[in-house]
């Protein structure tokens, strides 16, 4: 676990998540490591809000809005504020001239393209973050350093990861002073990638400060329109759906409402996906596949808001009957349940597993869960979010505060709910067991553990779940040791 950082230390130490002795003009850490010791400039930089045609003017309800209409670095919460002069001669942020890569940097970019872009593209059939982003990084130093920091952290090269992250943050904060920054798609993509770096770094720092998540939220709100395209045809829209998944991870782990603007209106699904003859789905387009996967994630976000939102702290106070009568809450619950069920009924058949059941034979000594086999990442990821939404609805069904039920009936009702939740959990584990490289599916599993993990009584199922979580950290550097520890404490209590 890293040392606690100083709030008033130099920017270099704060970026590297190490304690600073606060000596000036050069601290001891920077002197020892031959690094540039950047001191904080207290003058905040301002992002000027971009407004496209038809942009809404109701930003006053947003916690990120200001009366001045601008966004400050403090709102973006990157943790540092750097004056342009303190960074030195930074290259142009979107230079048409291709950058020359070292062999090590090229290997890390290749590692990202082959292995890590898949994490971000898990619902995008166009694979924009795997295909477009590595190419764009040759023209964008910020994007290049974001990719290198993520890839280096994933392969365990701490020095390269921290160095790239430090360079990226220095350039990033200077870029925030530009007038057109809110409409910079490449910058948004870089921050989305930095958020994954931040999540992986929690293993070393012992905490997740969510700075890049807040920064992404601020940029999205500064430039978004009033509609949302489920097909994610551009990098900006692809980045939004990645942000939404990242946001749901934090919301579920902390049991808090997601920082999402639910006033956004979803554009209609592609026409071929309006229901009807299943034969129309046999040759689904990439746009249709993406739309169906993203639709269940949006519905899941609504469920998370319903479960963890409050009238005082919800992101949209008019969305549900929060803290009001049980009847209103129950109607909201039933509407959400029907929306989830309608997605499940209407989705293309290729989103179903090609096989589900007990493998038998040698599997009896290994996988304790029913096996589900899917043919694409977006299918298994969509299944995971369907499970998560269904579990949460079961666990948070509104009940009259003083319901008249016999003790025996209440016990039977609770047992039925727990049994249904457990069955969802078993199937989710089974889908992850045979998809070890679909990392987002196992990350979704992490979301659900806090709903159903304590209900597991079977020893083989407990150890099977622990193995899935352990492999996620061992093979993919995603922090799960703390989840395993929490589960074991619960099981032993």
Q: What CATH code is carried by the domain that includes residue 34?
A: 4.10.240.10
Residues 117 and 180 in one domain: yes
Q: How many domains does the chain have?
A: 2
Name 287's Cβ contacts closer than 8 Å, sequence gap at least 6: 125, 231, 233, 270
Compute the chain's Rg from CA coordinates: 23
| Residues 201 and 94 placed together within one structural domain of the fold | yes
In a domain, 329, yes or no: no
Tell me, yes or no, whether 139 and 5 share the same domain.
Answer: no
Contact 186, 236 (CB under 8 A): no
374 lies in some domain? no
207 occurs within a structural domain: yes
Helices (H) and strands (E) in the chain, counts: 19, 6
Domain boundary among 206, 223, 240: 223
Domain boundary among 201, 223, 245: 223
Q: Helices marked H in 224-374 — which ranges?
A: 235-254, 286-308, 326-346
For residue 488, count other CB atoms closer than 10 A to its CB.
12
d(CA 258, CA 251): 5
Q: What is the pTM of this model?
A: 0.79
Does 268 map to a domain?
no
Domain coverage including residue 145: 70-223
Flag whether 419 is in a domain. Answer: no
Do 96 and 199 share a structural domain? yes
Sign for the pseudo-dihedral over CA of 254, 201, 224, 112: negative
Half-sphere exposure of 190 (CA within 13 A, CB side): 29
- Residue 11 sits in the same domain as residue 100: no
Do 120 and 217 sit in the same domain of this protein?
yes
Same domain? 106 vs 153? yes
Question: Measured between alpha carbons, how far is 173 from 83 in angstroms, rounded to an integer?
Answer: 8
Q: What's the rounded Cα separation, in Å, for the pair 259 and 264?
A: 13
**pLDDT tens per residue across all 493 residues of the chain:** 344 444 456 766 765 657 788 787 778 877 776 666 666 543 332 223 323 333 333 333 332 233 333 344 444 444 333 333 333 333 344 555 788 899 999 999 999 999 999 999 999 999 999 999 999 999 999 999 999 999 999 999 999 999 999 999 999 989 888 888 888 999 999 999 999 999 999 877 666 777 888 888 888 888 778 999 999 999 999 999 999 999 999 999 999 999 999 999 999 998 754 544 555 556 789 999 999 999 999 999 999 999 998 644 444 444 665 556 788 889 999 999 999 999 999 999 999 999 999 876 555 558 999 999 999 999 999 999 999 999 999 999 998 765 545 555 556 778 999 999 999 999 999 999 999 999 999 999 999 999 999 999 999 999 999 999 999 999 999 999 999 999 999 999 8
Residue 46 lies in a domain: no
Are residues 387 and 372 in contact, defined by beta-carbon separation less than 8 angstroms? no
Domain membership flag for residue 266: no
Are residue 76 and residue 207 in the same domain, yes or no?
A: yes
Which residues neighbour 371 within 8 Å (Cβ) at sequence distance 6 or greater? 355, 356, 357, 358, 359, 363, 430, 433, 434
**Quick one: 13 and 74 in the same domain?**
no
Same-domain status, 86 and 181: yes
Claim to verify: residue 1 and residue 100 sit in the same structural domain: no
Q: Is residue 168 located within the same domain as residue 95? A: yes
In a domain, 194, yes or no: yes
Angle ∠(206,209,211) on CA atoms, nearest 5: 145
């Amino acid at each position: 676990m890293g040392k606690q950082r100083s709030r008033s230390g130099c920017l270099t130490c704060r970026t590297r998540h190490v304690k600073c002795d606060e000596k000036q003009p050069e601290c001891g850490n920077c002197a020892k490591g031959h690094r540039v010791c950047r001191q904080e400039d207290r003058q905040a930089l301002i992002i000027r809000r971009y407004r496209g045609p038809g942009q809404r003017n109701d930003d006053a309800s947003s916690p990120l809005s200001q009366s001045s209409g601008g966004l400050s670095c403090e709102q973006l919460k990157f943790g540092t504020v750097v004056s342009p002069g303190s960074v030195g001669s930074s290259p142009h942020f979107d230079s048409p001239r291709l950058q020359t890569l070292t062999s090590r940097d090229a290997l890390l970019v290749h590692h990202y393209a082959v292995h890590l872009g898949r994490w971000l593209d898990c619902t995008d059939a166009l694979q924009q973050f795997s295909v477009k982003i590595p190419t764009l990084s040759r023209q964008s130093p910020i994007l290049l350093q974001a990719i290198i920091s993520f890839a280096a952290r994933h392969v365990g090269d701490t020095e390269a990861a921290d160095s790239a992250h430090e360079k990226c943050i220095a350039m990033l904060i200077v870029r925030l002073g530009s007038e057109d920054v809110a409409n910079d798609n490449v910058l948004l993509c870089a921050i989305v990638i930095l958020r994954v770096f931040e999540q992986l770094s929690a293993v070393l720092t012992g905490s997740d400060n969510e700075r890049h998540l807040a920064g992404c939220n601020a940029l999205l709100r500064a430039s978004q329109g009033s509609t949302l395209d489920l097909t994610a045809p551009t990098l900006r829209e692809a980045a939004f759906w990645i942000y939404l998944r990242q946001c749901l991870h934090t919301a579920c782990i902390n049991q808090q409402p997601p920082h999402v603007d639910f006033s956004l209106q979803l554009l209609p699904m592609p026409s071929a996906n309006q229901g009807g003859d299943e034969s129309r789905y046999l040759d689904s387009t990439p746009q249709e596949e993406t739309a169906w996967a993203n639709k269940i994630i949006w519905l899941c976000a609504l469920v998370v808001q319903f479960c963890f939102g409050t009238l005082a702290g919800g992101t949209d106070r008019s969305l549900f009957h929060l803290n009001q009568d049980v009847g209103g809450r129950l109607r909201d619950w039933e509407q959400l349940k029907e929306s989830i069920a309608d997605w499940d009924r209407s989705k293309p058949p290729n989103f179903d597993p090609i096989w589900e059941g007990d493998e038998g034979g040698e599997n009896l000594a290994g996988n304790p869960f029913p096996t589900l086999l899917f043919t694409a990442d977006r299918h298994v990821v969509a299944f995971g979010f369907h499970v998560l939404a269904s579990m949460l609805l079961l666990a948070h069904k509104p009940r009259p505060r003083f319901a008249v039920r016999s003790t025996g009936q209440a016990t039977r009702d609770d047992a039925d709910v727990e049994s249904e939740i457990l069955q969802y959990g078993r199937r989710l584990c089974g889908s992850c067991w045979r998809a070890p490289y679909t990392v987002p599916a196992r990350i979704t599993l992490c979301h659900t553990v806090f709903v159903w993990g304590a209900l597991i009584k079977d020893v083989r199922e407990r150890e099977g779940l622990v193995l899935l979580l352990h492999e996620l950290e061992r093979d993919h550097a995603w922090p799960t040791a703390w989840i395993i520890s929490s589960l074991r404490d619960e099981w032993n209590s």
